Structure 1
């Protein structure tokens, strides 16, 4: 069982705050990311289909086909970058790439360790029954996930507060940044678990900050 100080190995969410952010660009980012949202709508439809296929693959073979796993990971990575640029964090002014790849030079990154084996019994219940407590928690954070970015809830409220802070002080409050990334990290851990990409149950723990607790936790 994880202790409060233990790393969460299967999922690594990292983020680097830009040293200088535009004071007013955040007001129009909702327009700038429209092309991403359009693409992500279709990618998330494909994500759902792939997850259903993976469900049956795991049930019969105990494996998440690697190509399908990499596609779903790519959708989550793309979504995290768009969210980080826009109203999931406003942590960078670097426009997110149209890419399913890891993009190691982008300030928002996500990695999920590929599982060699997954439980046949867990795949029947983890995405709905076991994940219900997690859904209740992240519903408060997000008020629902839409096309890969988080449209309302606590995360967006805190992000808008950060936007106003940048507008009037030219500084992004560091403690607020740590909290926002921690909330997003929780959501992404649950997303990985609910989409059958790991059997490791997400901890009820808010790991704040731009780096995972103890670096190099994905194996």
Structure 2
């Protein structure tokens, strides 16, 4: 269990068969918003790096921004991947706890004080192993997502094993992102939990 970031997805037992064909189109407004949030995320990341390296602490305001961006990203990813049907809210709540209103629950417990400045300075290098592992797992999940596309298209259901693996891959990706965006100094585990 990695307490710095949690992700849960309440996926329905059945999904309407047409959703894999068009749900990604319905998500285009969210993808546009994510583009601009990504720009804000880079700014927040730079601010987080400087404040953590020079003061040894992370600002709650910056942590809130980073949490909101990560939460928005994973809600849109799960929706685009037809893991649930409810249209994701345009929610820009900058809280660390899950504000609700979506089947995708993303919460954070960042480390604000007593940060290890050296690991923050070298974070980009420490991030490489977990980023490679996460990319490999996410690539496998993407291939399984293609299989799930046809399963949902013809049966209206996600195969349980595929859904479980994809959710675990998303969780791993969230943990790597949480570590990479300075929300914690705790290294994410190389595990699918």
Question: After TM superposition, is the score higher than 0.5?
Answer: yes
Q: What's the CA shift string for 1:165-204, capped at 9, x where partnerless?
A: 1121222111111111001100110000011111010101
Q: 2:38 — aligned with what?
A: 44
CA contact (8 A) 1:80 1:109 kept: no
Q: 1:114 — aligned with what?
A: 110
The DSSP-based 3-state class of the residue aligned with 1:131 is: helix
Work out which of the residue numbers 55, 60, 70 in structure 2 matches 1:61.
55
CA contact (8 A) 2:60 2:112 kept: no
Q: 1:35 — aligned with what?
A: 29
CA contact (8 A) 2:59 2:112 kept: no
Q: What's the CA shift string for 1:33-82, capped at 9, x where partnerless?
A: 11111111111111011110111111121111111110110000000000
Indicate yes or no: 2:191 matched with 1:195.
Answer: no
Indicate yes or no: 2:61 matched with 1:95.
Answer: no
Which stretches in structure 1 are left out of the alignment for 5+ residues? 1-6, 143-152, 208-219
CA contact (8 A) 1:77 1:100 kept: no
Q: 1:169 — aligned with what?
A: 155
Taking only aligned residues, the RMSD between alpha carbons, in angstroms, comes to 1.3
- TM-score w.r.t. length of structure 2: 0.92
- Structure 1 segments of 4 or more deviating over 4 A? none
Equivalent pairs, count: 188
The DSSP-based 3-state class of the residue aligned with 2:83 is: coil
Higher helix share: 2
